[in-house]
Amino acid sequence: MNSVDARMGIVLALRKAGVIDPLVLDAMETIPREVFMSAGFEDRAWEDAALPIECGQTISQPFVVGFMSAALELSGREKVLEIGTGSGYQTAILSKLARRVYTLERYRTLLRHAQSRHEALKLTNIISKCSDGALGWPDQAPFDRIIFTCATPHRPDALLAQLAPAGILVAPVGPGGVQELLRYRLRKDGVFEEEALMDVRFVPLLPGVARDA
């Protein structure tokens, strides 16, 4: 099966699994996941599975990427912050769904690879930085949407403070192992509504910037 057929197959599987946002499905059909794989894993790019990348991290399974992207309820006008660039695949999907994507990664190696992939795909609305994701990006706040691609052990109050009014934050919350994927909405009265979406497994959010990785 060629990569185009494989992508279409994943899109059909996502639709059957409940990811029905047409913008998300179009983005996932457009972005070639194989470009974001580590050497030796290219032929497994369209498995619906999380796979290893450099620095002990993973690229999330397509269903989780699609589900989380849909949970952000993007219309194309939003300013989005991503915590954990990783391979850059989720970033690339977001770039097709939002006005501008800001993404933070603690591993310089991962960030360089992701930047090269985004440049090769001519994705020009992505701004990336090597930084501690737990701190967010205060200089660029507020954000209409925030997404974590790593697990935070508790409610991410520092990032919730960087949401714009009516903003949405989606994050895996909990200790190692299984976490809850939670969606927070900032109401007009300043109160956050919390909604549990599903159980997930993500690598943990690590503090600081990696010295050499």
Task: Give the residue numbers spanning the domain of 191.
Answer: 3-200
- Return the closest-CA partner of residue 28 out of 58, 54, 61, 51: 61
Let me know if residue 210 belongs to a domain.
no
83: tokens are: 């915590």
Residue at 205 is within a domain? no
pLDDT of 42 reads: 86
- In a 13 Å sphere around the CA of 114, the CA atoms on its Cβ side amount to 29
pTM score above 0.85:
yes
Q: Does some domain include residue 80?
A: yes
With vertex at residue 52, the alpha carbon angle to CA 48 and CA 53, rounded to the nearest 5 degrees, is 120
Domain annotation covers residue 209: no
Task: Give 175-198 pLDDT, tens digit per residue.
Answer: 878 999 999 999 988 999 999 999
DSSP string, 152-181: BSS--HHHHTTEEEEEEEEEEESSSS-EEE
Q: Percent of the chain at pLDDT above 90? A: 80
Residue 75 designated active-site:
no
Sign of CA dihedral 31, 36, 37, 39: positive
Amino acid at site 27: A
- Name the residue among 164, 162, 166 with its Cα closest to residue 188: 166
Counting residues of the chain whose pLDDT is more than 70, the rounded percentage is 97
In contact, 51 and 59? CB cutoff 8 Å: yes
Per-residue model confidence (pLDDT) at position 148 = 98
Within-domain flag for 207:
no
Asked, for residue 212, whether it belongs to a domain, the answer is no
pLDDT (mean) for 188-209 = 93
CB 150 within 8 A of CB 174: no
- pLDDT at res. 212: 59
CATH number of the domain residue 140 falls in = 3.40.50.150
Q: How far apart are CA 126 and CA 92, in angstroms?
A: 8
pLDDT at 120 over 80: yes
Is there a domain that residue 89 lies in?
A: yes
What was the pLDDT predicted at 57?
Answer: 93
- Spell out the alpha helix ranges (H) of the chain: 3-16, 22-30, 62-71, 89-95, 108-120, 157-160
User: Does 172 score more than 90 pLDDT?
Assistant: yes
Q: Which of 3, 60, 69, 131 is catalytic?
A: 60
Above 90 in pLDDT, residue 111? yes
Q: Taking 60 as the threshold, does the pLDDT of residue 213 lie above it?
A: no
Looking at the domain assignment, is residue 194 inside a domain?
Answer: yes
Question: pLDDT for 24-83, tens place per residue?
Answer: 999 999 999 999 998 889 888 888 889 999 999 999 999 999 999 999 999 999 999 999
- The tens digit of pLDDT for each residue in 132-147 reads 999 999 999 999 999 9
Tens digits of per-residue pLDDT, 69-99?
999 999 999 999 999 999 999 999 999 999 9
What's the pLDDT score for residue 1?
57
pLDDT for residue 158 is more than 70: yes
When divided into structural domains, the chain yields a total of 1
pLDDT on residue 2: 66
